[in-house]
Structure 1
Amino acid sequence: MSVEQYDYIIVGAGSAGCVLANRLTEDANKSVLLLETGGSDKSIFIQMPTALSIPMNTKKYAWQFHTEPEPYLDNRRMHCPRGKVLGGSSSINGMVYVRGHARDFDEWAEHGAEGWDYQHCLPYFKKADDWAFGADKYRNVGGPLAVNNGNNMQNPLYSAFVEAGEQAGYWHTDDYNGAQQEGFGAMHMTVKNGRRWSTANAYLRPAMERSNLTVKTGVLVKRVLLEGKRAVGVELVQKGKVKRFDCRDEAILSAGSIGSPHLLQLSGIGPAKVLKDAGIEQQHELPGVGENLQDHLEFYFQYQCKQPVSLNRKLGPLSKLAIGVRWILFKTGLGTTNHFESCGFIRSKKGIEWPDLQYHFLPAAMRYDGRSAFDGDGFQLHIGHNKPKSRGWIRAVSADPKEAPKIQFNYLQEPEDVEAFRACVRLSREIIAQPAMDKYRGEEIQPGASVQTDEEIDAFVRGAVESAYHPCGTCRMGAEDDEQAVVDPTTRVRGLQGLRVVDSSLFPTIPNGNLNAPTIMLAERAADLIRFGEAADAANVKVVMDEQWQQRQRQGKQQREVR
């Protein structure tokens, strides 16, 4: 029986996989097979930005993973959805576009990911970028990924929040994805002409017009096939039948920070004890596979609103129907935004070199499932500590790919993370207490005025924090001689030939921001490494930093020292 062969096999049509499918098929002499367990992304609930809470909580579109009981969160089992649809998690996420701070990528290089410092990454952020407000040294126009500010902060609460941040002593930033992340300003989202601009829309659909790309959906990859120390193909299940597809050049895992380490382990690649406990025959020892798991936690800081301007008035069934009809007919109105249109990036204390706390501001008090948090008008801050020290793991439990792996983040294991969340509470109260919020600020609903001491804050945080859905780090990129690194800085799996991993599992450390933008950047740069064996020359731009970061937590007035 003949086996279909392709030059490249990509496992996972998500944020990274769609980018790779597009870029690798630019070479008409190379054939590419893209494999995805999920199916079509054409649902209105995926394409309409305001419906973002629906696909994330739908089994059809997302793997509904849950963690083991988290020992430092009162043994809560945390929800960890991952995209299972064309576009992957870019089709179910909040569409927030944050590159991360420049120093986040310098930190990658410091951890052994040579060539992944900010100046080398910036050309690939720009390559992807189609920025609505014009090109400069940091931004680009004409790339595949549309980025804008949604409805341009029409609700007055957005601007009031930004002004409050400045009144509290923080910088204003005109573009947190440009020269200066630190401060308060407008937030950016991946939306185009009123539609979610996932990597399926931005990258995959144009590539599907090419004859050298084959896309197969509804398939479940069982393992990577090895001959000695070389990957030669994959084995999968399609409509109940086991099939094999071979690759002439490389197999590339882009199954995400949960899926990629799990698939490596299913293939016998990983820590010896994990494989033995799961009953999987070891093919290649790599102790770092599934380790170094990181994520962002956040909670909602909720207030009643004294003015009738919040989106709580739009959460009833008739209002939602009207928003949906307008979106269907015209692609305009509240259906075109994720509602996170202003934001802030600050440092939790002095002595922190670059921001480690992030705000998403929402002019409504509601839950991630889209339901109102209480009757009446309200607003909320999503606030979290974005540079956690705590680390977790992912472990296969059997050779069956349908059986979910065990996931343990060890959230808030490290005292520094607990301390940072105390700062989240206290600094947020200071910001909302500023004059800009006086005419809007009503009663504090959550955490509530009674939550004041360290012990009370810690107890609240343990019970209230939720994942921001940014898992990463489980196939960490590092130097060739780093035994815990899973891939080298060219994205090749250490000790094997013909096998790469390209997705957010490669991140050595988690950036200060949402992960979709850096994942797309990583895939853009990896595509050049795969095709040409080299990447673009480094940029040479300045980054705005607070030169007095060791002495102060906020600036007091706008001072822009550039280095």
Structure 2
Amino acid sequence: MRYRLLSALVASAAIVTDAAPAASSYDYIVVGSGPGGGPLAANLARAGYSTLLIEAGGDEGDNPTYTDIGNFNEAANDELTRWDFWVKHSDDPVRDLKFKHTTWDTGDGTFYVGLDPPADAKLLGIQYPRAAVLGGCAMHNAGVCSLPADDDWNIIVNKTGDTSWSAENMRKYLKKIEKNEYLPAGDEAHGYDGWLATSAADNSWAKNDSLPGTRMLKKMAELTGQDPNDAVNLVNRDILEAGDNVDETTSFYNMVTHADSKGKRSSPNNYIRATLADPAKYPLTVKLQTLVTRVLFDEATLKAGSTPRAIGVEVMEGASLYRADPKHVDGTKGPVSQILATREVIVAGGAFNSPQILKLSGIGPAAELTKFNISVVKDLPGVGENLGDNYEGSLLALGAAPVQSGLITLLFRTPSAPTKKRNIFTWCGAFSFEGFWPGFPTYHGPTQYTCAMVHMAPKSQTGSVRLVSADPQDKPDINFRFFEKRGDEDLHELVEGANLLRKAWQAAGEPVLPFDELHPCPSSSGAAAAAAAGKEEEEEESCTDAAQAEFFKTQAYSHHATSTCAIGGDDDKMAVLDSKFRVRGVEGLRVVDASAFPVVPGAFPSCPTMMLSAKAAEDILADAKKAE
């Protein structure tokens, strides 16, 4: 497959222009405007502190590609904002080259995606798109809003002793940011006055028993221990519900998105813009198309050998300066300047860029920094390590006729899960989703049907983000090391999930059946053929459980990277942050984004990161009051 690669620079609308230059000093500087940094900067300014928010991209808050949540595939592909990271899934290049959507640069302005590249094509790797735009990745994602398991919050309590991270306490931050538009006002588990709109789909389709989707829905209920006759009601269950044993509850849910009831995306972009436009004239300045090259430290503290103190940032100004930007032109640089912070610098560049910025600033594994002649400010071996993500995979098939159905959202536990907690988040519908590559997804025709799966609580979290040079325009080397630890267990759980969903598909009936499964079990194979015949899986070489596991091992994908600047306890040498987001061993510097989570937080980290941001604002403002 070939895809066009644009090289022309495209100007984006900006809410801040050179006509209103940044001042030379602020109380706070926040680097990155995504789910962590964007709301934090707005909250600090609303508290009366002069705050500079720096974003490497532009502002697309008026662009329907981004504002209409239904355009998320187009948004993620849009070169106007896209940053392409080409990642590895393992240390084995042979294994990685089995990934069917491996991407190559052909040298003629196009990408080749596949396993048989043209001669002289340059290997790029596995695409992992991020968004350089005001609002960050919350501007190009599908907007799914779900919560981590309680244990994902409580692990921070266990590591640090800070009870403010308890799941019970963290709920208040959801209530603080949420503007719920799908439940009657008064539900104590939700918020109704926040800045983040949440909405849910209309699942009235499930009342129609004649639909193939409804028949599959009831079969899924049967296979997961739910009442098939109650499925019509269960599909409207609140996925953000509170209560005992929620994480151990297998159930259908209504998919909630951070969008309003009219389908307009709700993201940090909205909150930032509202803060700038507020008649109260909050002291927020936004500086767009500006690449932060490093954090600055007080030279006196460095010379004296005392605790280093962050005092500002160095920036390079201009569009498309970072080499992850497909619009970047080789050799392009911008003017470099320095901006000071009288209180703190807060890095919120995400799981890839936050550790890169720290390392470029002299904070990270000493041996790695020394390799690139970067002066070591603080030896922190955990910076850029502990990279984690959920494993994602899908069942994809073509029906004999289109599958009439709405979206089925199901969280369930497979038999071999190591705890009582559910481990698979699946959503099924007449769509195609097989991962990421330039031009994704592939449209397989009107009869396509997919159950996409997110495997939660991966047992291996051994990936890394490491420098390739001291040049801040370079992309880092990113390796997720999927399935490196206890991988066989995670793969078995994915196969169990696939087998259950495949059985449920056989309830679709006429005119949909038979399904022509494309993966992980092509229809000629034993598992798919046996399921179609209503029999137990046949142990044929072409699609045993082992063959399905191999498929997921080589074709799993992800897009929820976290944990590269993890919070940890005083006794953890790999901890980068304390429980208040402060970078260990230095002063005046914090990291507030998904990289702070010690483990991957549930199935989708966007809303949890916005909750984390609200907590960070509370912690930072409390420290500011103490210092006054």
> Does the CA-based 8 Å contact 1:480-1:494 persist in structure 2?
no
Residue 516 of structure 2 corresponds to: 443
Q: CA deviation at 1:376?
A: 4.0
Q: CA deviation at 1:372?
A: 4.3
Closer, same or farther: CA 491–108 of 1 in aligned 2, 3 Å: same
**1:137 matched to 2:188:** yes
Q: CA deviation at 1:152?
A: 4.0
Partner Cα separation in structure 2 for residue 420 and residue 486 of structure 1: 27
> Does the CA-based 8 Å contact 1:292-1:474 persist in structure 2?
yes
Q: What does 1:72-91 correspond to in 2, within 5 Å?
A: 74-76=95-97, 77-91=125-139
Q: What does 1:432-471 correspond to in 2, within 5 Å?
A: 432-434=502-504, 437-439=508-510, 440-441=512-513, 442-448=515-521, 449=523, 450=525, 451-467=542-558, 469-471=559-561
**1:430 matched to 2:430:** no
Q: CA deviation at 1:521?
A: 0.4
Partner Cα separation in structure 2 for residue 250 and residue 355 of structure 1: 40
Partner Cα separation in structure 2 for residue 277 and residue 153 of structure 1: 60
> Does the CA-based 8 Å contact 1:68-1:408 persist in structure 2?
yes
Q: CA deviation at 1:495?
A: 1.2
Residue 231 of structure 1 corresponds to: 310
**1:218 matched to 2:283:** no
Residue 48 of structure 1 corresponds to: 68
**1:36 matched to 2:103:** no
Deviations 1:510-542 (A, max 9, x none): 12210101100000011000112499xxxxxxx
Letter in 1 for 2:550: A
Deviations 1:406-449 (A, max 9, x none): 1111011123x333233323333323423753454523221124
Letter in 2 for 1:204: I
Instruction: Choose 1 or 2 for highest CA Rg.
Output: 2
Partner Cα separation in structure 2 for residue 273 and residue 98 of structure 1: 39
- Greater shift, 62-71 or 271-280, is seen at 62-71
- SS state at 1:431 partner: helix
Q: CA deviation at 1:373?
A: 4.2
Deviations 1:157-186 (A, max 9, x none): 665554333211345572232133532221
Residue 447 of structure 2 corresponds to: 377
Partner Cα separation in structure 2 for residue 526 and residue 160 of structure 1: 46
Deviations 1:188-231 (A, max 9, x none): 11111221112212x21111123400000000001000112100
Q: What does 1:4-43 correspond to in 2, within 5 Å?
A: 4-28=24-48, 30-41=49-60, 42-43=62-63
**1:198 matched to 2:283:** no
Q: Which residue of 214, 233, 238 maps to 1:175?
A: 238
Partner Cα separation in structure 2 for residue 252 and residue 207 of structure 1: 19
Residue 550 of structure 1 corresponds to: none
- Greater shift, 479-488 or 4-13, is seen at 479-488
List gaps (5 residues or longer) in structure 2: 1-21, 98-124, 227-233, 302-307, 319-333, 526-541
Partner Cα separation in structure 1 for residue 497 and residue 509 of structure 2: 17
> Does the CA-based 8 Å contact 2:146-2:240 persist in structure 1?
yes
Partner Cα separation in structure 1 for residue 415 and residue 272 of structure 2: 39
Q: Percent identity?
A: 29
Residue 538 of structure 1 corresponds to: none
**1:308 matched to 2:402:** yes
> Does the CA-based 8 Å contact 1:385-1:421 persist in structure 2?
no
Deviations 1:432-481 (A, max 9, x none): 423753454523221124253243123211332222x1000000001233
> Does the CA-based 8 Å contact 2:91-2:479 persist in structure 1?
no
Deviations 1:294-344 (A, max 9, x none): 011211201223443459xxxxxxxxxxxxxxxxxxxxxxxxxxx866332
Q: Which residue of 480, 489, 506 maps to 1:409?
A: 480
Deviations 1:355-376 (A, max 9, x none): 2221122322455545444234
**1:473 matched to 2:563:** yes
Q: Which residue of 479, 504, 509 maps to 2:594?
A: 504
- SS state at 1:97 partner: coil
Closer, same or farther: CA 158–376 of 1 in aligned 2, 3 Å: closer
> Does the CA-based 8 Å contact 1:346-1:358 persist in structure 2?
no
Q: CA deviation at 1:68?
A: 3.6
- Greater shift, 430-439 or 292-301, is seen at 430-439
Partner Cα separation in structure 1 for residue 58 and residue 466 of structure 2: 26
Residue 253 of structure 2 corresponds to: 185
Residue 421 of structure 1 corresponds to: 491
Partner Cα separation in structure 2 for residue 498 and residue 344 of structure 1: 41
Residue 149 of structure 1 corresponds to: 200
Residue 169 of structure 2 corresponds to: 120
Q: Which residue of 89, 92, 116 maps to 2:140?
A: 92
Partner Cα separation in structure 1 for residue 352 and residue 490 of structure 2: 26
Closer, same or farther: CA 350–54 of 1 in aligned 2, 3 Å: closer
- Greater shift, 301-310 or 225-234, is seen at 301-310
Residue 375 of structure 2 corresponds to: 281
- Greater shift, 470-479 or 174-183, is seen at 174-183
Q: CA deviation at 1:352?
A: 1.4
Partner Cα separation in structure 2 for residue 117 and residue 136 of structure 1: 21
Letter in 2 for 1:252: I
- RMSD value over aligned CA atoms? 2.5
Letter in 1 for 2:554: G
Closer, same or farther: CA 10–356 of 1 in aligned 2, 3 Å: same
- SS state at 1:65 partner: strand
Q: CA deviation at 1:10?
A: 0.3
Scaled by the length of structure 2, what TM-score is found?
0.75
- Greater shift, 18-27 or 146-155, is seen at 146-155
- Greater shift, 79-88 or 456-465, is seen at 456-465
Letter in 2 for 1:166: A
Q: Which of the pair has the greater relative contact order for Cα pairs under 8 Å at 6+ separation?
A: 1
Q: CA deviation at 1:56?
A: 1.7
Closer, same or farther: CA 249–186 of 1 in aligned 2, 3 Å: same
Deviations 1:374-406 (A, max 9, x none): 234121011132211221111112221110011
Partner Cα separation in structure 2 for residue 242 and residue 154 of structure 1: 57
Scaled by the length of structure 1, what TM-score is found?
0.83
Partner Cα separation in structure 1 for residue 82 and residue 442 of structure 2: 23
Residue 331 of structure 1 corresponds to: none
